[in-house]
Amino acid sequence: MARVFGTDGVRGTVGSQPMTVDFAMRLASAAGRVLAPDGGSVAVGKDTRISGYMFEAALEAGFVAAGVDVKLLQVMPTPGIAYLTRVLGADLGVVISASHNRYDDNGIKFFDRHGSKLDDDVEMQIEALLDETPVTQESSRLGRAERRYDAVDRYVSFCKQSTPDQLDLSGMRLVVDGANGATYKIAPRVFSDLGADVVTIACSPNGKNINDGCGSTALNMLQSTVTALGADLGIAFDGDGDRVLMVDHKGEVVDGDQLLFAITLSRRQTNQLKGPVVGTVMSNLGLEKALAGLGIDFQRAAVGDRNVLATLRNTGGMLGGEASGHIMCLDRTTTGDGIVAAIQVLEAVRQSGAPLAELVSGMARYPQKMINVRVVQKFDIDRSGMVREAVAAAERTLGDEGRLVLRASGTEPLIRVMVEGQNDALVSSVAEQLAGVVRSAAAAEA
C-alpha cells in the first residue's frame, strides 16, 4: 500500500480512504500484531467528533479480534491518552482525532507504551500488514474491552501536579475556550481546582461544532470575552488538546513562541533549564534573538511536534514547541500537552508577579506573514524552476534581517508560504508575490 501515515498519524475525510470503518479495523489488527503480538492491551480515547463513536467501535473490534485487551478512555485529550497509556501499563495508546480540523475529518494516531509517538520504522511495519485480512483469534484468545471511568480523575490529578509545588490560582479570572473538543470538561475543572475563577466558552460539544469558530485556530470570541469580563487572561485549546494559545488582559494574542519564551524565563529563573530550547523552521525570528540575548541556545527542527521532540531528545533539551501552540515540557510529561503547558505559563505569571503581557514583552515578534496555497494534487515545490527563481528573488529583497520558508502541509493539500522580517509592509508584499508564484506553478502542473 502507499504510505498512509502522515506527520501525525492517519487523517482524512470521514467516509473516504483511509478514514473508513474497514480501514480502522485493518489498522487495529495490524497495530495489534506489531505492538502487542502476544496479547497485551491498548488504551483508546477520542475527541468529540460524531464519527469518533464509529471509529472507536471499529478499532475495538479489530483489537479484540486480534487478542488485545482494550481500555476505553472515552473523550480524552491526546496528551491524556499518552499519559494514561503509561500509567495503565498498556502496550500502545490510540487517539481518534483530527486535531484542529473540522468535524467531517477524523484521524487515528498512536503512542507506544512509554507515551511517545511511534518511530517511522514501526509505522512501516504496521503499514506492511494493512493489505492482510484482519486476524480473528479463537474464542479463548480474544481480547476483552472495558470502559475506564477513572481516566478523567487520573489525568486531572496529573495536570494539577505538573508544577513542583501545586499552583495556587486564587484571585485569577480565566476564560477557557475548549474548542468544543476533548478538553471541554477537563480544562475548566483543572483550573477551577487550582483556585481560579473560570469562565468557559466553546465547552458544549454536539459532535459537529468542534473547532467551529472557536479554539486555538479562531481566537476572536476569546479575545472579546476576556476584555468584556476584565479577565486576567484567556486560554484556548485545539480540538484534541495538545495545543494551547493565550490572550492577555488587553485582548492581544500570545502565540506558542511567546508562551515558550515565558516558560523558558521561568525555568531559567529557578535554575531548572537544561539543554537548548527547540523550535521549528517556522518559529519567529524574535524568539531566537530574544533567547540569544539571554545566552540561551536555540535550535530549529523541521515542522511537527515529533521533530521537535526528536531534537530535544538528541540534544538533551527539555523545552520546545511551535507557534501554533504545540509546547513540550519534557521535565513534566512525554509529549505536547496544552493543559500542562498552560499551567507552566500560569506558574511563570505567578512567579513574576507581572501580567502575561509584561512577561512576554522581552520577546519582540518580527512581522510574519503566512499564506496557505491550496493545491489539488501533490505539488513538489523543490522541482519547480519558477518557484526556485521566485524564492531567490525574495531572499535578495529581504536581506539578512528576514527569512522565508516554503513547505508542504503534512495534514492538508496546502503549500505554506511564510515570510518574516523587520518591515511589515515588505513582508506582506513578498509573501503575496511568492504565494502567487506558487499558486501559478501548482496550477500549471495540475
Q: 291: Cβ–Cβ under 8 A, 6 or more apart, which residues?
A: 261, 264, 277, 297, 298
Cell of 233: 487572561
User: Is the bond into 18 cis (omega within 30 degrees of 0)?
Assistant: yes
Cell 511517545, residue located:
116
Q: Are 217 and 202 in contact (CB under 8 A)?
A: no
Q: Are 11 and 413 in contact (CB under 8 A)?
A: no
Which position among 97, 99, 116, 266 bears the catalytic label? 99
The full DSSP string for 333-389 is -SS--HHHHHHHHHHHHHHHTS-HHHHGGGS-PPPEEEEEEE-SS---GGG-HHHHH
SS3 content of the chain, % helix, strand, coil (to 5): 40, 20, 40
DSSP 8-state code for residue 167: -
| Residue 314, CA distances (Å) to 115, 154, 271, 278, 310 in order | 18, 30, 21, 11, 6
Give the separation between CA 314 and CA 106, rounded to whole angstroms.
31
CB atoms near residue 186 (< 10 Å): 22
Q: Which amino acid is at 318?
A: M
Q: Are 256 and 327 in contact (CB under 8 A)?
A: yes
Q: Are 203 and 174 in contact (CB under 8 A)?
A: no
Give the separation between CA 75 and CA 240, rounded to whole angstroms.
9
Give the separation between CA 260 and CA 304, rounded to whole angstroms.
15
| Residue 300, CA distances (Å) to 272, 278, 368 in order | 21, 6, 17
Cell 470575552, residue located:
225
Residue 97 among the catalytic residues: no
Cell of 82: 499518552
**What H or E segment, with its residue span, contains residue 199?**
strand 197-201
Q: Within 13 A of 134's CA, how many CA atoms are on the CB side?
A: 23
**Catalytic residue numbers, as ranges:** 99
